[in-house]
Amino acid sequence: MEREHQLLAARFYGPGVLRVEEVDIPKIGRGELLIRNHVALTCGTDLKMYLRGHRLATPPLIIGHEFAGTVERVGEDVEGFEEGMRIVSANSAPCMSCYYCRIGKPNLCDHLDEVLIGFSSPGAYAEYVRLPTRIVKLNTYEIPKDVPFEAAAFVEPLACVVHGIELSNIRAGDLVFVIGAGPIGLMHVQLAKIRGAKTVVVADASPERLQRAAQLGADQLIASSDSAGQVKTLTENRGADITIEAVGKPETWELAVQATRKGGTTVLFGGCPAGSRASVDTGLVHYGELTLRGVFHHTPRDVREALRLISTAQINVAPLITHRMRLTEVEEALRLMQKGSAIKVAITP
Ligand SMILES: [Zn+2]
Ligand SMILES: [Zn+2]
């Protein structure tokens, strides 16, 4: 087939196997948009997918789910979008009719998996991305004029952080302890401050990541393995008002519970490998009246708030991009993520 009908894409074939190859440009149907992708960001979830696969992924699958671009083609019955418009979308959209959507928890929608870009629908490490109808209707937005594509592409991960911070109930003056200074932890640091945290303490094993946390507003940095002990030292032995786990390992989930003060909230943000178990000291939770708060994904309202925070430059996402690479180098980009030497890599087609 001629090149003009084809696009370059990075397709996942199985754990550890990613091939950059030519595939057909997707045909779009009623209600859909074809996006010419300008940038895609690497994400820890893409790395997990690359290393061990994903329950929703049927190879060969184009992966990648954080992206921004321009409208290339508009499907029938699409309203509000035209060719050439700069847009960003979330990777999913709720069905708005299941039990969870009806009780106002669309992030828990039973049908979220059905159209999930980069998982059940072809993803963003590609020159073109097809936006399914439901996402076009509920979770696609025009990028304000002065916002670069690279910044706009942070809408999806930041929306998850907006959601987590909302459920953490931060109050003015709180001490917030963030475990993990990856992209998600670094966005939590900034948003916790905006929402009134007086002191943000960050723990991470990497001195470079801690340095970046300090640049983005962290007040105290902890590099030692006894970070719960250190947080207690900083709080007259009480512990953090709010602890946010942004790593996704059972040991850091346990640490998060230990580091939270009586009556405080432990936000368990990081997703652990499927089937993981963490144990908690029941006494700490019971006598300490701890609130253990699982958080997942985002709602369309969180996505809009994320775009607002980026557009008004309240959240500074630019320092989270540590590398820029071409689509042909996606595998190398994911390896940099694996080594911990990249926070986020901006991939351009
Ligand atoms: Zn992501
Ligand atoms: Zn639903």
Residue 58 has pLDDT above 60, yes or no: yes
Residue 248 has pLDDT above 60, yes or no: yes
Tokens of 231: 């947080």
Ligand 1 (ion): which residues have CB within 5 A?
43, 45, 157
> Nearest to residue 107, comparing CAs of 65, 193, 166, 40?
166
pLDDT tens by residue, 69-105: 999 999 999 999 999 999 999 999 999 999 999 999 9
pLDDT of residue 225: 81
For the chain, give the mean pLDDT.
Answer: 96
Whole-angstrom Cα distance, residue 230 to residue 8?
49
| Residues sharing a CB contact under 8 Å with residue 288, sequence separation 6 or more, in sequence order | 260, 261, 262, 263, 264
Ligand 2 (ion): which residues have CB within 5 A?
94-95, 98, 101, 109
Tell me how far the alpha carbon of residue 95 lies from the centroid of ligand 2, in angstroms.
4
pLDDT confidence tier of residue 3, bands split at 50, 70 and 90: low
Find the mean pLDDT for residues 202-227. Answer: 95
Torsion of CA 106, 109, 111, 112, to 10 degrees: 70
pLDDT of residue 274: 86
pLDDT of residue 239: 98
Tell me how far the alpha carbon of residue 328 lies from the centroid of ligand 2, in angstroms.
36
In percent, how much of the chain has pLDDT > 70?
Answer: 99
The type of residue at 56 is: L
pLDDT confidence tier of residue 5, bands split at 50, 70 and 90: confident
